[in-house]
Structure 1
Amino acid sequence: MFRIIIENYLKLFFILTPFFILSTFLSLTSKWTKHDRKALAVKVTIAITITTVILLIAGNAIFKLFGITVDSFRVGAGILLLLSSINLVKGNIETPNTETEDIAVVPLAIPVAVGPATVGTLLVMGAEITKYSEKILLFISLILSIVSLGILLYISNIIEKLLKQKGLNILIKLTGLILSAMSAQMILVGVANFLK
């Protein structure tokens, strides 16, 4: 049970692209006070939690509504995840520009943390699991990953001093490499199941 939680936790943590959202968070709040950054970190964490929980719950209903199989969606989500990972590795990511004061939901929660690739992956993960006990374990993993991300944002001032931008860029590229492996696995499983 503990192993399943850890495995899902690691997958979900990297799917949320924590170091990219941290880098974006720091750049968008460069002139903010420590107190304001911490308050924003809490709001972003809540927004991500609500969004991702809805996606996990709605997975099966969405597939039934549109008549899409889990495997076809798995391949599609895998391709989106692969494209996102390539952008992370190459550094071809645009930091969203916003003139609004409330940036917790848009752009930080959506689409920086919960972009198209994350949406697809969460829908697949939610639809794959049918047992109630396994769903509970998945939700525990999701909450743990979001809390970890929230802590990163909450202590962003400390991380910024320790890593600087160069350190964050290295972590972003490592995240991209991990996501590329996960996307390849998703695509291969979807194709293999389709061929059966």
Structure 2
Amino acid sequence: MASTLFSLYMSLLVLYSPFFVLSCFITLSRGHTLKERKHLAWRVALGVLIASVLLYLFGKYIFTLFGITIDAFRIGAGSVLFISALGMAQGKSVVQSDNVQQDVTIVPLTIPLTVGPGTIGALLLMGASHPHWHDKLLAIVAIFLASLTVGVVLYLSNKFERLLGEQGLQIVSRLMGLFVCALAAQIIFTGVRNYMGISG
């Protein structure tokens, strides 16, 4: 049980890519005080938690509603996640700090930076793949822990900024991008294998 929880937690942490979000968070909160930054960090964590749990719990209904097979969705969601991760690995800038006065909690920090299209797809798949409530409860605990970790990383943004510097954050962000690429490839391969009926 502990190993399953840890595995789910690590998968979610890779999907959320907290250090990629951290670099965006620092850019978007340039005009904020330290207290405002810390408050914003917890609001983002709460937004990630709520969005993720809702997507996870109602994923199976989306498949039923649109008549999409789980494996077809795996291929599509994996492809979207791979494209997103590729941009992350290449260090492409995804945010502008033009207007620091606007509330950036939900858009863009929660969605689409932390819970992007690929992560949404992965959460929907996860929810549809867990029919039993004890599996769902375990996944919700993992989502809570991963969201909390995102909040802690953002809460300590000033310390990370001083410790790693801009280049250090870029390096860590690109490494996270590579891990997400690998996770996306695994989702695609699983979908293709199951869809083609190839035994693993």
Q: CA deviation at 1:93?
A: 3.2
Mapped contact 1:96–1:107 kept (Cα < 8 A): no
Indicate whether 1:192 and 2:196 are aligned: no
Partner of 1:29: 29
Q: TM-score, normalised by structure 2?
A: 0.95
The 2-side partners of 1:98 and 1:12 are apart by 30
Alpha-carbon distance in 1 for matches of 2:70, 2:96: 31
Change (3 A) 1:123 1:7: same
User: In the TM superposition, what is the alpha-carbon distance from 1:102 to its structure 2 partner?
Assistant: 1.2
1:120-176 Cα offsets, whole Å, 9 max, x none, are 111011111111111111111111001001000111111111011111111111111
**Residues 103/60 of structure 1: CA separation in 2 closer, same or farther (3 Å cut):** same
Are residues 134 and 154 of structure 1, via their aligned partners in 2, closer, same or farther at CA, if it must alter by over 3 Å? same
Provide the residue aligned with 1:85 in structure 2.
85
Q: In the TM superposition, what are the counterparts of 1:1-196 in structure 2 within 5 Å?
A: 1-97=1-97, 99=99, 100-196=101-197
Residue 117 of structure 1 and its aligned partner are, at CA, apart by 0.7
2 CA distance for matches of 1:129 and 1:97? Answer: 40
In the aligned structure 1, how far is the partner of 2:134 from the partner of 2:45?
25
Q: Structure 2 regions of 5+ residues with no counterpart? A: none
Distance change (3 Å), C-alpha of 1:44 and 1:98:
farther
Give structure 1 regions of 4+ aligned residues with deviation exceeding 3 angstroms.
none
- Indicate the RMSD between aligned Cα atoms, in angstroms: 1.1
Alignment check: 8 A CA contact 2:27 2:97 kept: no
Query: Closer, same or farther in 2 for the Cα pair 1:98/1:131, shift >3 Å?
Result: farther
Secondary structure at the residue paired with 1:126?
helix
Output the TM-score relative to the length of structure 1.
0.97
Q: Residues of 2 paired with 1:86 and 1:42: CA distance?
A: 28
TM-superposed CA distance for 1:101, in Å, is 2.4
Name the CA distance, whole Å, in 2 between partners of 1:97 and 1:124. 33
Percent of residue pairs identical: 39
| In structure 2, distance between residues paired with 1:34 and 1:142 | 27
Partner of 1:181, secondary structure, is helix
Partners in 1 of 2:66 and 2:115 — Cα distance? 22
Structure 1 runs not aligned, ≥5 long? none
Greater mean deviation of Cα atoms: 84-93 or 17-26: 84-93
Question: Which letter does structure 2 place at the counterpart of 1:81?
Answer: L
Deviates more, 1:65-74 or 1:90-99: 90-99
CA distance in 2, matches of 1:102, 1:156: 18
